[in-house]
Amino acid sequence: KMPWSCNIRADLIDYELLKRMKKLGLAQIFIGIESGSQRILDEIYNKRLNLENIENSINIASELRLNIRASCMIGAPTETRSEIKQTIKFINRLHIDEIVCYITTPFPKTKLYEKTKKYINKKFYEFDYYKEPVYASAPIFTNRLYLRWIKRIVLLKFYMVPKRLFIILHLFFKKTG
């Protein structure tokens, strides 16, 4: 009955699987949403995911009362401001407890790297998916400060909802109390 967590792909989630995992102590899942734009999921990340599948998977985990951590990425090559707004709206519509937002960074020898290397304007040793954009596909996304600002907007819009603020405060006082 020791609580544990796992990373899981949305396309692998089904109710019976998560139900069995929960009986074995699963308390939290970490799921990569990546983007709220189907075009970015298909053309850039090639994740074989669709937004409806992601939403259904999160609903299943929520129904089982699992803690749901999710991640998204911003700054993909050819991504537009409108697509970032789609991502923000999408993650805020979902029953997620925590969100992490990264700057899209491909690692050498990965499919993403091979597919998007024509857009990369940095050396590998300069990559930092928390702070530094590596793509030069759109001038707006090469600006480190702009992407940091967008990450803050993603997090603020997600966490500044009364329900989520209550959860954060509850967890904070539970851990410190």
Of residues 134 and 175, the one with the higher pLDDT is 134
pLDDT digits (tens, 9 = 90+) for 135-176: 876 555 556 678 888 889 999 999 888 877 887 777 778 766
Instruction: Specify the pairing of strand 26-34 against strand 67-74.
Output: parallel
C-alpha distances in angstroms, 169 versus 40, 74, 156?
34, 27, 15
Q: Strands (DSSP E) along the chain, which ranges?
A: 4-8, 26-34, 67-74, 98-103
Integer Cα distance of 67 and 97 in angstroms:
6
- For the residues 75-86, what does the mean pLDDT come to? 91
pLDDT digits (tens, 9 = 90+) for 49-72: 999 999 999 999 999 999 999 999
Provide the whole-model pTM: 0.86
